[in-house]
Structure 1
């Protein structure tokens, strides 16, 4: 039984929580080669580059603190540190080998160095976060959110931890863990989640169907209501967030663009994979107007060769961890309100300035103020304290987050960065102040005091304290004129202690300040569905509102309302044409109404026809078509016939085509003949093409002849011919095989023709493709091999040709070898094992193979390897699925920003791609009605279709044409990718993968078959 399982068993036997610590804390061990050794602390401090007037002290370092993964402060200004030693471990004994712990560090004399160190708790496993409040300490130890009681405040747990939530995925991932506990201004405890696995979260004992499913994004938990919910979804591995002076939440992220303004109910772009909701249709991009790397040059691992010059100038790299919006009173005023984030590879602090733009925000990059020269610096967290100084946690390692080279657990540092002479604390322990004194601290220029005061008053209210004497004061502060920041602080405090009323919040919807109005909306929906009175007030506000920010949060609030009450507010928001092209508001409005469209098609169609507001008409038409209800389709036909606005007609037709893509037949909407007649004379090729495409799906055959003419006419544009071919293939038109066979000789259309022929189960077609192998263009040749390997009959013929020497065995890729194995034919399986013995069906010898390659791929050998030949090998073996320097396909993760400088990371993923397998990359085997077996990823699913991504194609297949599917335990990327290469070729490939930028192809190299 695993350690987490034993804890859970103990929980069922004890009144509260886990087993108490009964063993000595295991001494952490290092599994990483330190090379030349850890940089001495004096050199690390001396190498810091700071702006004039700033000062850095080493607040703590090893052995007093090691592996600091998260920081928090308490009302006494002490620093709480989560030490994580179990990171990236799966198979150790957590009783005897490794555990995590929580420390308290106290600087009693204010000299920037800790004086007192207390171990609060040392029973953690996968500890990523710590927060303080409500009579104890909160800790994330996947799969649990724990509360460790310390009601007497003596810095010793009163009893075992209590599991508040469980279900956080921890077993199948090594990083991207749940993390980031922080108290929000609304009184909720916020956290974050990474992309690599799905979690199903709920209180212990919650049935699976009642749990909350989440992947990457932001979540929150209410400490007294015991309510859990997802705030926003998307990004990759968010590892830092903070609220500005107006309570607007900003999030930092790794790998893809870095900065996001968090709006409740938002769905952000992801590094890979699909969101759970198939009706989003579009995702929100990042808030910043820049990235922190040079996209032309990229970078390699900092530990190997540093970032490129272009990336250095841009900000240091793609990976960020830790975010602080400075609102203290120590640093100069010019820094106040700016966003500071730790740049992992650039070993620096990035500085972005958020600004109101359009409906919401943008952020621009300012010069990076703080840089470390220490190659061991791995900044991971930023927090500020009572004197306005900023603490920086340094994981202190020479590896990266994937830790393929081990972990240096005996190191870790915390810096403190101040300016001039920091002020004396206003009180040594804020919890000793009375209620009125805490209210007075809401005026303090250092936000730390206001946050602590608000949090302490919320705790006192939850404990039953009589706070009525301060209610009038808080109401006066929140509703009066003047400083909106003070008013907001008072409003949040009032809400946290239960002092806001619905009438009071509704009155604030008329406030002259947009931030106050925004928060009135948010607090009116804080508990979920608002009242009818609040919804009516929202409707009146939407009609008169001029602020795009307020309208955005109104659109966000729609998701909390009954579906039939959203339409008046949605119509009012969409009437603000000045925001029709805004990158955020129209998308948030779509998120707010998308679930209402099926139940009110008349209202949806009316909104779509009321005017352009982003892509709203297209999305509404898509959702109505996907639902296929007669009223909705009838309305679309009527609008297409009567509305003369070409852009509107184009949007509606495009939305209908989006919904039906992949289907061969669908019921036509009422009056479709009238629609085609009314649009036939329009001089718009896009509209005519959409009508033809839809007519085929609706069974109106008069479009087939026109499509055949377009597909075979060299005078038509290439895109028109490709669209015609795709539509003919989808419709299974008569004479398809003959038409497509005739197009195989056209270089630009050969791949399209082969993909179409793959759907035809005909021995003559297979024989033709086999005959043409080697004479087709490279991409078409790959497609032909995929087609031949997709059916047992054609696969036997393919194997005959390989065994007879007519086809070189090396032209069959590792993926196709595995594809052949999934056909379920014993004879084929045996023949494949004989022809390709090096391609093992499982990675049983992966460790030995990695060790052997490491021994041969010495620095000298890699240094003399040829990256130009490596690029050619990349094009032949990797580019079908991965992008590097703009070359390749986005089937798997992009490699440009990956940990390419680490040889161990590359070898693990190339030799044993199943070692770290994200849920989104588990391969599926599909058996199709036309006889094909297709291996790929299910990247999108609707009620009627499944989108399958293979290394060579993105296929939309009707569900009724999928006879069977199973999820594999392996990655889409097959094992043994390197086994067909000589050691020199492996070295060339690795050298190119580790290169800082694009290199030329070898002289004379062009397209080549795999």
Structure 2
């Protein structure tokens, strides 16, 4: 019989435990709709499918963990987890605090049995790692260090600010992720939404480093901050392979990129900080996970296979997180070196095989590793531990990074994935001797290698004598038969400052391309290595047979003094085998571009000698952009082009034409006419076309007449006719409107001629376009509407026609309505609202509209849709900016891999596109001196031209024609695109957007 006192004691303990759990749980409120909740954590783990032989355990789940956004494994094998309740930074979110938890699995059964809170005062906590006596966290606007030098799992004091200036406006594209590199630097990531200006607290604002979508690094000892790469969208996943080659995973435009220091990658939108790059590096993956693909970075789909409607079979959607290159020792050998990543919309883990291709790498798709079978699965990060098993965090929510359907803050899971019978490991590398840490560099599991290397670096920073360890590491570099082990020892030596310049120069003679590549990288790692090292690198460049090492040499250029770059660049430019490489020509260009205008003679000599055509073209382009203040060097360029063969002349002229595109009334170089006579004798169509185009820029009326004759000639090919008219229009000659009016009905150039009429304000233009409208070809009608909207006087005629019923209000798109409103004419805006509707609605009205459509677009209603009709609506309404199933334009993201099966996602992004607007996608109204208004995103500005991406076109205007640029808050995707559509059209459009089969009528 139980005694009453014992029973009371048990009840008292249970109450105390319940109270402790309640106090331990943050006051996180679920804003998901009532009744919407994920399956239990244990059920979610049971649903996961992995290959035969693997097992999945629930390591931790709610209520023990919520919102797990990042994790790290300490030197004892314990799991540290960052819980983020303030992710998007809303007013509600920032009333909360983020936390760091520590989980320990003492019995090795794949489930935690000890848990403690390390810190609970975080904000925007998106990444963490451990080292140097504390915890490093990304917490916008800062990189913070939480000291715990006595390792008692309690901070020794308040956080220390190591870096500041990371944007708090970046929302879901904020700074994130931390990982120690093999070189001893701390690496992190940043998204595209906003630009940060970062430096140490001592760095003046004017000297801080700007960055947006990028990989960056910080040195824990020297407190130096650097941007490693620029470009892509939102990197969220970063790891390196057995040879120290970094790769990161990314969202939307492509999922995989090889990290090349100094690289500038393709971007989802916006322009690079440097307007003179001219070309950006394509992605590493040769496929998409939502389509069958056949060409690396092939944004125009010209080499991709036809979409077959099975995107789920190909690997899910276009959002990826948590890149991990498996280098553990538990999984089968075929997984070693594979890149694994979480696919948000695919609710799975994808696998890419990393293979050498050219001077860089390619990612080839392999079978998916994990299928969650759970719509709530949101994998964020993957990491292998000391036993070789892999931890996988699951944010667990229906939405994604910027949804408005609510957040399920009280859920979150961490799974552990092992193969067969894993052997529990209870290491404590903090207690290992120097000799043991050196021996760890030979371990099969790279977890030991990385942690041991950092421990050696920490001891070096603490002033300990590591001379014996250094000798042992040098012996591994010299004698070990496995190059991966030699590289590990090399990196460890560098981390403890035991790999001097002379020793590294000696490694340039190593038989392994990987050792030579790293010798180059480490020689320039601290920047400005000096003329002697630069000379040795130039010598290496002359005979280097490895493309990987040549890529490292090209990357190293940006770390050298400008004068020291030329000999290396000259040698690298002699490798004809690199002419068509995906990355090498651009990396050489990025290295020499800053030196072009300061030493144009050297630039011309390189252009004359190079075997890489891109370098010749880009040198000409960069020199041509300085024609107003360096006319003599442009004359020297033209002399060189006129004494070259056809191929070289074409490259020079292509560069010069690109430099002057969008300009007019430029004074011709003194030797221009003489050179044109020489090029005429070449009888080459490309040279002739480029010569004529440049002659127009230089004010040659005869060239204008010749181009107009080509544009009018129906016997000439369509592309040549359109190109000819485009060149003429960019020169903005006077008195062209009669010719354009005559061409308005031309099948090939009619639409272009109609758009060109926007440059002229003459009463007969608006009247003739309106009278032609009903007889106009289908593709000419949008051009007429666009031109009539470009000027206030024409817009008044357009609205009068709508009011009279001669033009259907549905023919006015949301973008056109926005352009009319952009004139700032109150009478026009009021008439537009009366006839078409309001261009902008309040947030409350948008929410009401979303709910209204959600109620109407039921599964039953969508099942009645006509997909073929929906496809046509898409082409008209969405296809001017977006691709789907390989059709449409690439102004905005490809929608095929987006979260299209989620109606709420579609409604929110279509009805309220400006809710979260990246700076690069905010529109501006460009008011021109001739009375036109061009609304769009400014993608590039230099001293001569402004380039504007409109909803359906790219326009370049001369700066001298720009009267004012008025920034707007709206996204390039306009409000109200559903407004002109009928209920049936809306139904058909959404059914098509949600379809998972190949589009109808495709041959």
Per the shorter chain, which TM-score range? over 0.9
Q: In structure 2, what is the equivalent of residue 12 of structure 1? A: none
**Distance apart, 1:844 and its partner CA:** 5.2
Checking the alignment, whether the CA contact within 8 Å between 1:818 and 1:841 is kept in structure 2 is no
**Distance apart, 1:977 and its partner CA:** 2.6
- Distance (whole Å) between structure 2 residues aligned to residue 436 and residue 175 of structure 1: 44
Q: In structure 1, what is the equivalent of residue 157 of structure 2? A: 159
- For the residue of structure 1 that corresponds to 2:242, the secondary structure is coil
- Distance (whole Å) between structure 1 residues aligned to residue 925 and residue 491 of structure 2: 52
Q: In structure 2, what is the equivalent of residue 502 of structure 1? A: 501
Q: In structure 1, what is the equivalent of residue 207 of structure 2? A: 210
Q: In structure 1, what is the equivalent of residue 954 of structure 2? A: 954
Q: In structure 2, what is the equivalent of residue 300 of structure 1? A: none
Q: In structure 2, what is the equivalent of residue 15 of structure 1? A: none
| 1:840–1:346 CA distance, 2 compared to 1 (3 A) | closer
**Distance apart, 1:340 and its partner CA:** 1.9
- Distance (whole Å) between structure 2 residues aligned to residue 314 and residue 808 of structure 1: 42
| 1:988–1:531 CA distance, 2 compared to 1 (3 A) | same
Q: In structure 2, what is the equivalent of residue 647 of structure 1? A: 647
1:134 aligned to 2:135? no
**Distance apart, 1:932 and its partner CA:** 0.6
- Distance (whole Å) between structure 1 residues aligned to residue 993 and residue 565 of structure 2: 51
Checking the alignment, whether the CA contact within 8 Å between 1:127 and 1:140 is kept in structure 2 is yes
Checking the alignment, whether the CA contact within 8 Å between 1:245 and 1:485 is kept in structure 2 is yes
**Distance apart, 1:56 and its partner CA:** 2.2
- Distance (whole Å) between structure 2 residues aligned to residue 424 and residue 24 of structure 1: 29
Moved more, 50-59 or 908-917: 50-59
User: Which aligned pairs between 1:861-900 and structure 2 lie closer than 5 A?
Assistant: 861-900=861-900
Q: In structure 1, what is the equivalent of residue 272 of structure 2? A: 275
Q: In structure 1, what is the equivalent of residue 291 of structure 2? A: 294
**Distance apart, 1:205 and its partner CA:** 6.2
For residues 726-771 of structure 1, the C-alpha deviation after alignment (integer angstroms, 9 at most, x for no partner) is 2222223354112111111212211111122111222222322232
User: Which aligned pairs between 1:582-597 and structure 2 lie closer than 5 A?
Assistant: 582-597=581-596
**Distance apart, 1:843 and its partner CA:** 4.6
**Distance apart, 1:534 and its partner CA:** 1.0
1:102 aligned to 2:100? yes
- Distance (whole Å) between structure 2 residues aligned to residue 65 and residue 264 of structure 1: 37
- Distance (whole Å) between structure 2 residues aligned to residue 913 and residue 329 of structure 1: 47
RMSD, aligned CA: 2.3
| 1:49–1:832 CA distance, 2 compared to 1 (3 A) | closer
**Distance apart, 1:789 and its partner CA:** 1.9
1:150 pairs, out of 144, 148, 151, with: 148
Checking the alignment, whether the CA contact within 8 Å between 2:253 and 2:894 is kept in structure 1 is no
1:492 aligned to 2:495? no
**Distance apart, 1:944 and its partner CA:** 1.1
Q: In structure 2, what is the equivalent of residue 415 of structure 1? A: 415
| 1:841–1:347 CA distance, 2 compared to 1 (3 A) | closer
For residues 317-359 of structure 1, the C-alpha deviation after alignment (integer angstroms, 9 at most, x for no partner) is 3322112212122222232222222223333332222122221
Q: In structure 1, what is the equivalent of residue 753 of structure 2? A: 753
Q: In structure 1, what is the equivalent of residue 20 of structure 2? A: none
1:255 aligned to 2:255? no
Q: In structure 1, what is the equivalent of residue 217 of structure 2? A: 220
**Distance apart, 1:852 and its partner CA:** 2.7
- For the residue of structure 2 that corresponds to 1:350, the secondary structure is strand
- For the residue of structure 2 that corresponds to 1:438, the secondary structure is helix
Q: In structure 1, what is the equivalent of residue 175 of structure 2? A: 178
- Distance (whole Å) between structure 1 residues aligned to residue 652 and residue 361 of structure 2: 30
| 1:483–1:881 CA distance, 2 compared to 1 (3 A) | closer
- Distance (whole Å) between structure 2 residues aligned to residue 465 and residue 358 of structure 1: 43
Q: In structure 2, what is the equivalent of residue 9 of structure 1? A: none
Checking the alignment, whether the CA contact within 8 Å between 2:386 and 2:427 is kept in structure 1 is no
| 1:810–1:351 CA distance, 2 compared to 1 (3 A) | closer
Moved more, 804-813 or 946-955: 804-813
**Distance apart, 1:870 and its partner CA:** 2.7
Checking the alignment, whether the CA contact within 8 Å between 1:99 and 1:125 is kept in structure 2 is yes
| 1:433–1:281 CA distance, 2 compared to 1 (3 A) | same
- Distance (whole Å) between structure 2 residues aligned to residue 970 and residue 351 of structure 1: 38
- For the residue of structure 2 that corresponds to 1:482, the secondary structure is coil
1:848 aligned to 2:848? yes
**Distance apart, 1:166 and its partner CA:** 2.1
Q: In structure 1, what is the equivalent of residue 695 of structure 2? A: 695
- Distance (whole Å) between structure 1 residues aligned to residue 93 and residue 78 of structure 2: 32
User: Which aligned pairs between 1:361-400 and structure 2 lie closer than 5 A?
Assistant: 361-400=361-400
Q: In structure 1, what is the equivalent of residue 120 of structure 2? A: 122
**Distance apart, 1:41 and its partner CA:** 4.2
| 1:772–1:192 CA distance, 2 compared to 1 (3 A) | same
User: Which aligned pairs between 1:312-327 and structure 2 lie closer than 5 A?
Assistant: 312-327=312-327
| 1:55–1:918 CA distance, 2 compared to 1 (3 A) | same
For residues 624-652 of structure 1, the C-alpha deviation after alignment (integer angstroms, 9 at most, x for no partner) is 111222343122212222112x2211111
**Distance apart, 1:364 and its partner CA:** 2.2
User: Which aligned pairs between 1:369-768 and structure 2 lie closer than 5 A?
Assistant: 369-425=369-425, 428-480=427-479, 482-628=481-627, 629-644=630-645, 646-768=646-768
Checking the alignment, whether the CA contact within 8 Å between 1:842 and 1:975 is kept in structure 2 is no
| 1:358–1:840 CA distance, 2 compared to 1 (3 A) | closer
- Distance (whole Å) between structure 2 residues aligned to residue 491 and residue 778 of structure 1: 66
- Distance (whole Å) between structure 2 residues aligned to residue 79 and residue 282 of structure 1: 42
- Distance (whole Å) between structure 2 residues aligned to residue 828 and residue 271 of structure 1: 34
- For the residue of structure 1 that corresponds to 2:760, the secondary structure is coil
1:242 aligned to 2:243? no
**Distance apart, 1:963 and its partner CA:** 1.0
Checking the alignment, whether the CA contact within 8 Å between 1:939 and 1:947 is kept in structure 2 is yes
- Distance (whole Å) between structure 1 residues aligned to residue 293 and residue 868 of structure 2: 18
TM-score, normalised on structure 1? 0.92
Checking the alignment, whether the CA contact within 8 Å between 2:258 and 2:361 is kept in structure 1 is yes
Checking the alignment, whether the CA contact within 8 Å between 2:680 and 2:688 is kept in structure 1 is yes
Q: In structure 2, what is the equivalent of residue 302 of structure 1? A: none
1:191 aligned to 2:188? yes
- Distance (whole Å) between structure 1 residues aligned to residue 232 and residue 93 of structure 2: 33
- Distance (whole Å) between structure 1 residues aligned to residue 238 and residue 919 of structure 2: 25
Checking the alignment, whether the CA contact within 8 Å between 2:923 and 2:972 is kept in structure 1 is yes
- Distance (whole Å) between structure 2 residues aligned to residue 308 and residue 117 of structure 1: 48
- For the residue of structure 1 that corresponds to 2:217, the secondary structure is strand
- For the residue of structure 2 that corresponds to 1:175, the secondary structure is helix
Moved more, 655-664 or 38-47: 38-47
In the alignment of these two chains, the number of paired residues is 966
Q: In structure 1, what is the equivalent of residue 302 of structure 2? A: none
- Distance (whole Å) between structure 1 residues aligned to residue 1000 and residue 363 of structure 2: 36
- For the residue of structure 2 that corresponds to 1:417, the secondary structure is strand
Checking the alignment, whether the CA contact within 8 Å between 1:539 and 1:569 is kept in structure 2 is yes
TM-score, normalised on structure 2? 0.93
Checking the alignment, whether the CA contact within 8 Å between 1:318 and 1:343 is kept in structure 2 is yes
**Distance apart, 1:859 and its partner CA:** 3.1
| 1:891–1:834 CA distance, 2 compared to 1 (3 A) | same
Q: In structure 1, what is the equivalent of residue 300 of structure 2? A: none
Checking the alignment, whether the CA contact within 8 Å between 1:323 and 1:341 is kept in structure 2 is yes
| 1:548–1:505 CA distance, 2 compared to 1 (3 A) | same
For residues 578-632 of structure 1, the C-alpha deviation after alignment (integer angstroms, 9 at most, x for no partner) is 2222112112111111111111222212212214315111111111111222343
**Distance apart, 1:481 and its partner CA:** 5.4
**Distance apart, 1:431 and its partner CA:** 0.3
- Distance (whole Å) between structure 2 residues aligned to residue 898 and residue 336 of structure 1: 30
- Distance (whole Å) between structure 2 residues aligned to residue 424 and residue 804 of structure 1: 80
Q: In structure 2, what is the equivalent of residue 63 of structure 1? A: 63
- Distance (whole Å) between structure 1 residues aligned to residue 521 and residue 88 of structure 2: 38
* Stretches (4+) displaced over 6 A: none
Q: In structure 2, what is the equivalent of residue 6 of structure 1? A: none
Moved more, 321-330 or 373-382: 373-382
| 1:735–1:979 CA distance, 2 compared to 1 (3 A) | closer
- Distance (whole Å) between structure 1 residues aligned to residue 801 and residue 47 of structure 2: 65
- For the residue of structure 1 that corresponds to 2:594, the secondary structure is coil
Checking the alignment, whether the CA contact within 8 Å between 1:710 and 1:716 is kept in structure 2 is yes
**Distance apart, 1:700 and its partner CA:** 2.8
Checking the alignment, whether the CA contact within 8 Å between 1:602 and 1:631 is kept in structure 2 is no
Structure 1, unaligned stretches of length 5 or more?
1-22, 298-306, 1003-1010
Moved more, 217-226 or 872-881: 872-881
Moved more, 475-484 or 952-961: 475-484
Checking the alignment, whether the CA contact within 8 Å between 2:885 and 2:999 is kept in structure 1 is no
Checking the alignment, whether the CA contact within 8 Å between 2:344 and 2:379 is kept in structure 1 is yes
- Distance (whole Å) between structure 1 residues aligned to residue 930 and residue 456 of structure 2: 67
**Distance apart, 1:804 and its partner CA:** 3.4
**Distance apart, 1:129 and its partner CA:** 0.8
